[in-house]
A = this chain, B = another copy of it.
Amino acid sequence: MRRVAIVGAGMTPFAEHFHLGIKDLLPMAVSEAVAHVDKGFDRKDIQAAWFGELVSTDGFAAGVMADSCGLLDIPVTRIENACATGNDTLRNAFYAVSSGHVDVALVVGGDKVRETSSRATFWEWMSMTRDQAWDYPLGLVAPANFALHAQRYLHESGATREHMAMVAVKNHKNAVPNPKAQLRFEISIEKVLAAPPVVTPFGLLDCTPQSDGAAALIIVAEHLAEKYTDKPIWVRGVGLGVDRVMHQHKQDMTTFPATVRAAKAAYAMAGVGPGDIDVAEVHDCFTAVEMISYEDLGFVDRFGAAKALEAGETSIGGRIPVNPSGGLKAKGHPPGATGIAQCVEIVEQLRGVASNQVDGARTGMAHNIGGPTAVSAVTILSTDVS
A residues sitting closer than 8 Å to B (CB atoms) are 1-2, 21, 48, 56-64, 66-67, 71-82, 88, 91-92, 95-96, 98-102, 117, 119, 127-133, 135-136, 239-246, 249, 261-262, 265, 269, 371, 374-375
Q: How long is the Cα–Cα vector from A183 to B278 in the complex, in angstroms?
A: 60
CB distance from A122 to the nearest CB of B (A): 15
Q: Are B79 and A79 in contact (CB under 8 A)?
A: yes
Partner of A60 from the list B130, B239, B265 (CB cut-off 8 Å) is: B130
Q: How long is the Cα–Cα vector from A108 to B374 in the complex, in angstroms?
A: 19
Most buried by B among A1, A62, A129, A249: A62
Q: Are A79 and B76 in contact (CB under 8 A)?
A: no
Residue of B nearest to A261 (CB): B73
**Which residues of chain B come closer than 8 Å to A76, judged between CB atoms?**
81, 240, 242, 375
Q: How long is the Cα–Cα vector from A199 to B361 in the complex, in angstroms?
A: 62
Q: Are A82 and B98 in contact (CB under 8 A)?
A: no
Q: Are A59 and B131 in contact (CB under 8 A)?
A: yes
Partner of A239 from the list B2, B75, B127, B374 (CB cut-off 8 Å) is: B75
Partner of A56 from the list B48, B91, B117, B128 (CB cut-off 8 Å) is: B128
**Which residues of chain B come closer than 8 Å to A131, judged between CB atoms?**
58-60, 63-64, 67
Q: Are B67 and A245 in contact (CB under 8 A)?
A: yes
Please name the 10 residue pairs, one residue from A and one from B, whose CB atoms are nearest each other, closest first: A75-B240, A99-B99, A1-B100, A63-B245, A60-B371, A59-B132, A63-B374, A98-B99, A95-B96, A95-B95
Q: Are B100 and A60 in contact (CB under 8 A)?
A: no
**Which residues of chain B come closer than 8 Å to A127, judged between CB atoms?**
59
Besides A1-B99, A63-B131, A92-B96, 11 more A-B contacts (Cβ < 8 Å) are A1-B101, A60-B130, A63-B244, A73-B242, A75-B241, A75-B242, A76-B242, A77-B240, A92-B95, A95-B95, A101-B269
**Which residues of chain B come closer than 8 Å to A64, judged between CB atoms?**
131, 245
**Which residues of chain B come closer than 8 Å to A269, judged between CB atoms?**
101
CB distance from A250 to the nearest CB of B (A): 11
Indicate whether A60 sits within 8 Å of B374 (C-beta atoms), given known contacts A80-B80, A244-B67. yes
Partner of A77 from the list B72, B81, B132 (CB cut-off 8 Å) is: B81
**Which residues of chain B come closer than 8 Å to A75, judged between CB atoms?**
239-242, 261-262, 265
**Which residues of chain B come closer than 8 Å to A62, judged between CB atoms?**
80-82, 242, 371, 374-375
Q: How long is the Cα–Cα vector from A214 to B335 in the complex, in angstroms?
A: 28
Indicate whether A245 sits within 8 Å of B92 (C-beta atoms), given known contacts A1-B99, A98-B100. no
Q: How long is the Cα–Cα vector from A61 to B75 in the complex, in angstroms?
A: 23
**Which residues of chain B come closer than 8 Å to A100, judged between CB atoms?**
1, 98-99
Q: How long is the Cα–Cα vector from A240 to B74 in the complex, in angstroms?
A: 8
**Which residues of chain B come closer than 8 Å to A61, judged between CB atoms?**
80, 128
CB distance from A17 to the nearest CB of B (A): 16
**Which residues of chain B come closer than 8 Å to A374, judged between CB atoms?**
60, 62-63, 66
Q: Are A128 and B63 in contact (CB under 8 A)?
A: no
Indicate whether A245 sits within 8 Å of B60 (C-beta atoms), given known contacts A1-B100, A75-B240, A98-B99. yes
Residue of B nearest to A48 (CB): B240
Q: How long is the Cα–Cα vector from A374 to B72 in the complex, in angstroms?
A: 10
Q: Are A63 and B82 in contact (CB under 8 A)?
A: yes
CB distance from A96 to the nearest CB of B (A): 4
CB distance from A49 to the nearest CB of B (A): 9
**Which residues of chain B come closer than 8 Å to A245, judged between CB atoms?**
59-60, 63-64, 66-67
